[in-house]
Amino acid sequence: MKTLNLFALLVGLALAFTTASAQPRITVSPQTIVVNPVPSYGVEVFVDKDSSGSGSPTYQIGEAISVGVRVSEAAYVYVFNVRSTGEVVQILPNRYDQDGQNNYLQAGETKYFPPRGARYAFNVDGPNGLDKVIAVASRTQLDTRQLADFTGTGNFATSNIGQDGFAQTFSIVVTPIPQEDWVTDTALFYVGSQAVAPTTPAPQPAPQPGTVLFNNPYLLAYPGSSVTYLDSQEAEFEVGASLTDVYTNFHNQMTQSGWQRVALEIKNNQAQASYQLNGQYVELELKGMGASGRYRLEIISL
């Protein structure tokens, strides 16, 4: 029996994408890779230690694992695993056997990988961490070659686009498809241990003059601005500067404090960006309030 590693995927996304204006928003979060906010049917993916798909069981490195997927109505189903190293492995469809080549499931049908009697097995590989398996169901076939591609004689399509690249590319793949025609689900499992490593406190920027707007993340008011409203998550202020200049100032403060930006969209006099630090995710929303020089800044914990 041939043994294949089911590669590890660390948690770590807090992104948001907007598709064409006629479609609702596509959301990417730490809980799932890509979320359709208005699905019309369902797909479920799960591992053998948790058939509900709602838990986070633990597997040791080298332990055998089985992945299951089912749909509530007939659809083409794609299952991916993405490693923390940036490698993407497409579990379904695959070229290993006939069962793996057929990725069209009937309503209520469940498929397991490896299937019973398969000539291969999935064994959990390191590093330790919280892993994900992502299932995508679509009423029409998807071209997933940008996500994972078959090379040479390999039986499983792979790529090295990483977590961010997977999410961004998938959002492009489904953009032309009606919003109600596709849906996703994600199964979580721990590799090695559920222990959480201690985090390092975020470094604070050097003190400088100005009103403190927020403490987590630590942000000072834009230089020369007049703050008209302030609470724990929202601030309103007036300043004679462009939205781009104001956002850039807040972005620089975030990066000085150790935050890493993972998504940004500037559109219609609004800047929306997501940041992560030590497993914590926040969304920064800066919006022009009509009158020139008036802004609202919101910090949302994800």
| DSSP letter for each residue of the chain | -EEEEE--------EEE---TTSPPEEE-SS-SSB-SS-SS-EEEEETTBTTSSS--EE-TT-EE-EEEEESS-EEEEEEEE-TTS-EEEEES-SSSHHHH--EE-TT-EEEESPTT-SEEEEE-SS-EEEEEEEEEESS----TTT-B--TT-SS-EE--HHHHHHHHHHHHHTTS-GGGEEEEEEEEEES--PPPPPPPPPPPPP-SS-EEEETTEEEPPTT-EEEEE-SSEEEEE-SS-HHHHHHHHHHHHHHTT-EEEEEEEETTEEEEEEEETTEEEEEEEEE-SSTTEEEEEEEE-
Cβ neighbours for 7, distance < 8 A, ≥ 6 positions apart: 81, 82, 83, 85, 87, 89, 125
pLDDT at 136: 94
Is domain 212-301 classified as CATH 3.30.310?
yes
Q: Which residue has the higher pLDDT, 37 or 105?
A: 105
pLDDT at 194: 67
Give the mean pLDDT of 180-207.
67
Percentage of residues of the chain with pLDDT beyond 90: 26
pLDDT at 185 exceeding the cut of 50:
yes
pLDDT at 64: 93
pLDDT at 118: 79
104 CB neighbour count, 10 Å cutoff: 12
pLDDT at 111: 92
User: Mean pLDDT for the chain?
Assistant: 80
pLDDT at 105: 96
pLDDT at 287: 92
Domain boundaries, the chain: 2-191, 212-301
Tens digit of each residue's pLDDT (9 = 90 or more) over 17-28: 333 334 445 665
Task: Identify the CA nearest to 157 among candidates 77, 97, 102, 93.
Answer: 93
Q: Which residue has the higher pLDDT, 205 or 292?
A: 292
Tens digit of each residue's pLDDT (9 = 90 or more) over 122-150: 898 878 877 788 999 999 999 999 999 98
Tens digit of each residue's pLDDT (9 = 90 or more) over 106-118: 999 999 998 887 7
Q: Which residue has the higher pLDDT, 177 or 54?
A: 177
Integer distance in angstroms from the first to the last C-alpha of the chain?
43
pLDDT at 206 exceeding the cut of 90:
no
Give dist(CA 103, CA 157) in Å, integer.
14
Tokens of 196: 């959480």
pLDDT at 269: 86
pLDDT at 198 exceeding the cut of 60:
no
pLDDT at 220 exceeding the cut of 60:
yes
pLDDT at 72 exceeding the cut of 90:
yes
Binning pLDDT at 50, 70 and 90, where does residue 7 land? very low
Give dist(CA 30, CA 13) in Å, integer.
5
pLDDT at 8: 34
Tokens of 283: 């969304």
Binning pLDDT at 50, 70 and 90, where does residue 83 land? confident
146 CB neighbour count, 10 Å cutoff: 15
Percentage of residues of the chain with pLDDT beyond 70: 83
Q: Which residue has the higher pLDDT, 154 or 219?
A: 219
